[in-house]
A and B are shown apart, each in its own frame.
Chain A
Amino acid sequence: MSEEVREISEMKYTPKDVVDIISQFRNMYSKLDSKIKQFVRTQPTFLNEIRQKLKTDIGFLSPQKKDMALSIFGIIITEDILKSYEPHFFADDISSLLNATDKKMSCTDDEFVGLLASFINILKSIKKSTEIIIQNFIDLRKKGIHNDVIETLLIQRNFSPALSEANLHFEVGEFEVDMRFLTAIFAYFIELSLEQSEIIESAESAGKLYAKAISKYPISKGEDIFYDMINTILIEPYLSQLNQALSSAVEVSQVIQKEEIDRFEPEEEIATQPAFIQGRMEKVLRIFQDSLSKRLKVGKEIDESWKMQIESNIEMILDWKAVNEFGKKDLDEQHHYLRYLFDIWFEVFEEYPQMSLPIIEIEQFTKFIDNPEIFIEETKKAITHKLTSIVQEKTKDDGFTPRSLAVAFTSISFELLTNPEVLSITFGE
C-alpha cells in the first residue's frame, strides 16, 4: 500500500498553487518597473549593443517599450533565468507574446510591464515543469509501461496540469493568452534538451515554434483542447526523439536501480518505510486541510475523533522515523523524537503557513503576509525555540516519547487551529 502512494505521486506533475502564482506575479510586477529603470541606468553599454543587434527585429515596438523589452532581456540573461538566450529568439518571442495576447495593435506601457512580468514567470515555470516531466518520463519508461499508456499519462497527468499552471501566470495578470503559445514554449524547452543531447542540431525560438503550432492546430482556447493540442504539438513531433535522447539515461538508471536494489535487499523492510511515513504525513496534512477549510469555518467544533486521528498518526510517524534511522523503536536518546516532531511541524507549516501566526512576533506580521514560505524559512530557529518551550511545558514529567509528543503536538495544533487570526487567513484555497 505504501508503495502505491509513492508510485502514483511520482508519475504526475503537481501544479503550483494559485495563491503562489498570484504572489509571484505581484512580486514580479511590482519590482519590474524599478528593475527596468535600474538596468537602463547601470547597463547602458549592454543595452546599446543589443539595440544595434535587434534594430529591425523589434522595430514594431515604440522607443519607450524598446528600452523596457531590452532591459528585460538583460535581466533574463544576467539573473540567469535562461542560461543561453539568443537576442533574436527573444525578439521573436516578444513579438509572439504580443500576438498571442492580442496586444500587438495597442498595449499601454503598464500592460506591457504586466505582460513582461508574466513572460518571465512563464519562462521560469515552464522550464522547471519541462524538467520535471522529462524526469517523470524517464521513470515511466523504467517501469516498462506500454508506450500508448505512457503517452496518454504524460498528457493527462503531466503536460495538462503544467499547461494549466502556465496559463494561470497570465490569468493572474488578467491577460488572455493563446494556448498554442504556451505549448510552443514547452516545445522550445523540449527542443533545448534535444539540442543538448545532440538529437537535433539547434532549437528554434518559441516564437517560431508558435507559428508552426498555429499552422498545425486551428483552435486557441478552452481546456477541452488540452489533450488534443498537446498530443499534436508536443507528443507526436517529439516523443520518439525524446525516447532516443533519454534511452541512455533510462538504461543507466536501470543499472543503478538494480544495484541499489541488490544493495538494499537484506534490509528490504526498512527501505520501504519512507514511503510509509510519507503516506502517513499526507494523511495528517489532509486532516489539517479539512479542519481549516471546512469544519472551523462553518463553525463546527473539532471533535475527539479529530484529535485521536492526529495523535495516532503522529505517534506512528515518530515511531517509524526512529525505526527508519536507527532500526529500532523506543530510543533512549529522546531528543531525536523532538527533532522528528519538528520535521513534521515544518511540513505542516509549509502547507499551512497561517498556522504559525500565533507563535510569531506581531511586528513581523507584514513580513509574513508578504511571503509566508520565505518568512518561515527565515524564522525557523525562533519558531523552533518557542515551540520547544511550549512542548516541554505540555509533556512535563513524561519526557519526549512518541506518545507524549503526539499528545502535545495535537493539543498545540488545536490551539493554533482555533486561533481567530489563523482562521481569518486563507491560503491555498
Chain B
Amino acid sequence: MENENQLKDNTLSVFLISYPQKELDINTQIIEIIGGKKLITDDTIKAKREMDLEKLNINNLFSESNILFKASRYAFVNVDNIDEEINNKIYVLRNSTRDFTLLNIIIGPFVDLNLEGAIGEIQSLTQSLTGVFRRTEFQKESEIIADINQKIEIKRNLEKLSKFYNWQIFEEGSLREKSEDSEITPMITSAFLVRAQIIKDRMKCMGECQRIYSKDLTPEGVKCECGGDLVLIPPDLNLEEISFVYPEDLVEIVGENNVESPSRLFKYLQKSEIPKELLSPFSQFSVLKLTNLITVPSKVKFQVKATSDIIDLTFGYKKQESDEILIFGFITDTRYSDSRLISSESLNKIMNAIFANLTDQTAWEETIRKTDLEKWKVTPFVKIKYIEKYPSLLDTHAIEHRGAGNE
C-alpha cells in the first residue's frame, strides 16, 4: 500500500479537454492536474501550471488524418550523462469524438501502463463526458443553465471520472499489466534507423509571442522583446538522416496502393515525437528536471481509421559521443499476415540483437544481418530534408551508385 501511495504522489496525471462553444465559434478548454502531491507542493503552483497548459491548442496536437494517434510511451535520456537511468516515463493518450478532444498525459516512475487498456478507459471517459456535454448543451438551449455552468459541470464530472481512472492505475492495478494481448499478432513491415542531433540550451518566451530562441540568439537578461519571461526549455532532437529496412517483396505483400514511400514512413516517426509545445509547459514543473532530458518515444500506437487496425511503432535508442543519438524503430501492422513478413513475436529478440551490436551509424546494415531481418533490404542513409525526392524505397538505393552525395 505504501508503495502505491509513493507512486501516486510522484505521478502527475493531466487531462486536457477541448470542446466547441457553438454560438461563439470558439473552443472551450479544460485543464485538470491530478495527483503528484510530491511534485506540486501548493495550489498556486498548480493553478499557474494549469494556466500554462490552457494556452495550448489541444485540437492541433497529434492532429487527425486517416491514421489516428491513440497512445504512446516515452523514455527520458539525460543529455549530459548517458548512463544515468531516468525512472520517469511519460504517457500520452488521445481520443476525440465529434465534439470532444481529450488528451491525458501521465508522467510517473513506472513502465507498465497497459496502453491498450488505458485507451479503452479513456474512450469510456470521453464518452461519459460527451453525455454531460450533450445534456448541458440541451439545457443551455432551453436557457436552464449558462455557459459557465456547463464548464463547471464538465469539470466536476471530469474530476470524478479521472479519480476512477487513476484508481485503476494506482490502487486496483487493472491498467498496469505487462501483457498486451491483442487479438491478432501484428507483423513487422519495416524498420528504420535515424541519426539525430541534440539541440539544447534554448530559451522560450512565456509571454505573448511564445518565441523560441536558440543558444546564440538569446537576448540579454531574462526578458523577451515582447516583455515576457524567458525560460529554459527541454532539449530537442533534430532528425538528420534515415535508413529503412524492408522485405524485398514489400510492394507485392501490401499491395500497390498501400506501399509506403520513404516520406510516408517517416511521417509515422514524426508523429511519434512528443510535440514541443506540449512538453514545454511541463518543463515548468522544475522537479521533473525536463530541461536536461531528451524525450524519446518507446512505444506509439496508431489506429487505421477505416478498419480499426493497429499500427504500432516500437523504438530503441543508442546515445553517441558528442550530441548525437541513434534511434531505431519497428513498424508493426495488423493489416497484413503474409508469411514473408516477420511476426512481432520476434521483436524483442531483434531489439536485443541491435542493442548489443549497434555501435554507430556505419554498423547498421551489419547489425541487421545478425537479426531475423537478415534477408531484408537496407537502404542507404537519406538526408531527411531531401526525403520527398524519393517516391519509393527502391529509389533510395540509387544513392549507393552515385556515391555519398544524395542532394
Residues of A within 8 A of B (CB): 4, 7-8, 145-146, 148-149, 151-153, 156, 217-219, 222-229, 231, 294
Contact = CB atoms under 8 A, between A and B. Distances in A.
27 contacts: A4-B173, A4-B174, A8-B172, A8-B174, A145-B171, A148-B163, A151-B160, A152-B164, A217-B135, A218-B135, A218-B138, A218-B139, A219-B134, A222-B134, A224-B128, A224-B130, A224-B131, A224-B134, A225-B131, A227-B128, A227-B131, A227-B132, A228-B128, A228-B131, A228-B132, A229-B135, A294-B183
Contacts of A217: 135
Contacts of A153: 164
Contacts of B138: 218-219
Contacts of B171: 145
Interface of B: 124, 127-128, 130-132, 134-135, 138-139, 142, 157, 160-161, 163-164, 167, 171-174, 183
A218 B124 contact: no
Contacts of A145: 167, 171
Contacts of B127: 223-224, 227
Contact of A149 (B131, B132, B134, B163): B163
B135 A225 contact: yes
Contacts of B128: 156, 224, 226-228
Contacts, number: 60
A149 B160 CA distance: 7
B52 to A, nearest CB: 27
Q: What secondary structure prevails in chain B residues at the interface with A? A: helix
B134 A156 contact: no
A362 B398 CA distance: 69
Nearest to A226: B131
Nearest to A151: B160
B142 to A, nearest CB: 7
A148 B134 CA distance: 23
Nearest to B126: A224
Contacts of A225: 131, 134-135
A38 to B, nearest CB: 44
A215 to B, nearest CB: 12
Contacts of A8: 172, 174
- In this complex, the member of A152, A224, A231 whose beta carbon has the largest number of chain B beta carbons within 10 angstroms is A224
Nearest to B177: A4
Contacts of A151: 160
Contacts of B167: 145-146, 149
A227 B172 CA distance: 21
Contact of B164 (A156, A219, A224, A228): A156
B159 to A, nearest CB: 8
Contacts of B132: 227-228
Nearest to A227: B128
Contacts of B130: 224
Nearest to A152: B164
B98 to A, nearest CB: 10
A208 to B, nearest CB: 22
